[in-house]
Amino acid sequence: RKKITLPTLQAMHRRHDPITMLTAHDFPSAHAADTSGIEVILVGDSLAMVALGLPDTNSVTLEDMLVHCRSVMRGAQAAFVVGDLPMGSYELDARQATESAIRMVKEGGVHGVKLEGGVDVVEQIRGVTRAGIPVLAHVGLTPQRSNALGGFRVQGKSVAGAVKVLRDALAVQEAGAWGVVLEAVPAEVAALVTKKLRIPTIGIGAGAGCSGQVLVQVDMIGNYPPGRFLPKFVKRFGDVWGETTRAIQSYREEVKGGSYPAEEHTYPMPKEEFAEFEK
């Protein structure tokens, strides 16, 4: 498969070919996404919940992200890989954002970074893009700012809310972002924002009118323990968790019942050698 670059994604956008983006947090999940033809792999800070078992993304550090980025890069051959800048690594100013983004590229090996926010982070986006690092912006529901948003709520449901989403999207475009994630925004609003932008919009809970879509991989393949809250926009395309527990239960039962390991799983020894050894 040919390497996906920023120009590849821009060409896809021009011919209205939907951009598929999916998260990955380690070598196997990156390999699966890459070989399935996904164009953009996101090392999302959602790995806090889906890989580390944390309650939210707030405590994930840049160091944590670097470990996961390196693992993902070993499994990604063709995809364009974007690493999430975690909370606390970019909010202060352009300098902090640029330093963090440079580490993500140099030490994590990713091709670009994502950061959350609109009008509030234009200086950061300018700084990082000036350093030659492609920035994917993220507006609407921004999980790292959920305490300020009053929880994980749909954004842009009111006129004022929709105007804010549009203003944020236009601001990140002007600041130099190559694309923008629209999370949990009414489909009509996301479609109109997409029409007003030159850069692609990547939707998650934002309807089919976006230039592309993104989902958290463990959610869409159904690889999470019972009890994980899933927002309305997630479609479960598989049952990997069920398949995994079925396989592990079978292994356990076969060991208990004596049917595993069988002859074919063992190494033979020449009979004469064993006879000698037995003495």
Judged by CB under 6 A, the residue of 20, 46, 124, 223 near ligand KIV is 46
Strands 201-204, 80-84: pairing is unpaired
Half-sphere exposure of 206 (CA within 13 A, CB side): 31
- Residue 156 in tokens: 């842009």
From candidates 82, 199, 204, 206, binder to ligand KIV by CB under 6 A: 204
CB atoms within 10 A of CB 264: 5
Q: Does 181 bind ligand KIV (CB under 6 A)?
A: yes
Annotated catalytic residue within 91, 107, 183, 264: 183
Q: Is 40 a binder of ligand KIV (CB under 6 A)?
A: no
Which amino acid, residue 42? Answer: L
Q: What's the closest the beta carbon of residue 250 comes to Na ion, in angstroms?
A: 36
Active site residue 183: yes
Q: State the amino acid at position 150 in one-letter form.
A: G
- According to DSSP, the residues that pair with 135 across neighbouring strands are 113
Nearest-angstrom CA–CA distance, 45 and 104: 13
214 binds, options Na ion, ligand KIV, none, Cβ within 5 to 8 A by partner type = ligand KIV
Q: How many CB atoms lie under 10 A from the CB of residue 273?
A: 9
Nearest to 73 by CA among 43, 99, 113: 43
Tally of CA atoms within 13 A in the half-sphere of 81 that contains its CB: 30
Q: Both tokens of residue 268? A: 């033979």
Q: Which is nearer to ligand KIV, 42 or 191 (CB)?
A: 42
141 is an interface residue for ligand KIV by CB under 6 A? no
Place of tokens 């944020």: 168
**Nearer Cβ to ligand KIV, position 149 or 276?**
149
- Find which of ligand KIV, Na ion, none residue 49 binds, CB within 5 to 8 Å per kind: none
Q: Site mask, ligand KIV, residues 58-87, x = CB under 6 A?
A: --------------------------x---
To ligand KIV, the closest distance from the beta carbon of 82 in angstroms equals 9
Q: Which residue is nearest to ligand KIV (CB)?
A: 44
Which of the stretches 43-51, 122-130, 222-230, 257-265 binds ligand KIV when contact is defined by CB under 6 A? 43-51
Beta carbon of residue 166, minimum distance to ligand KIV (angstroms, whole number) = 19
Q: Return the number of other C-beta atoms located less than 10 Å from residue 36's C-beta.
A: 10
User: What is the CB neighbour count within 10 angstroms for residue 152?
Assistant: 13
- The residues assigned a catalytic role are 183
- List contacts with ligand KIV (CB under 6 A): 23, 42, 44-46, 84, 181, 204, 214, 216
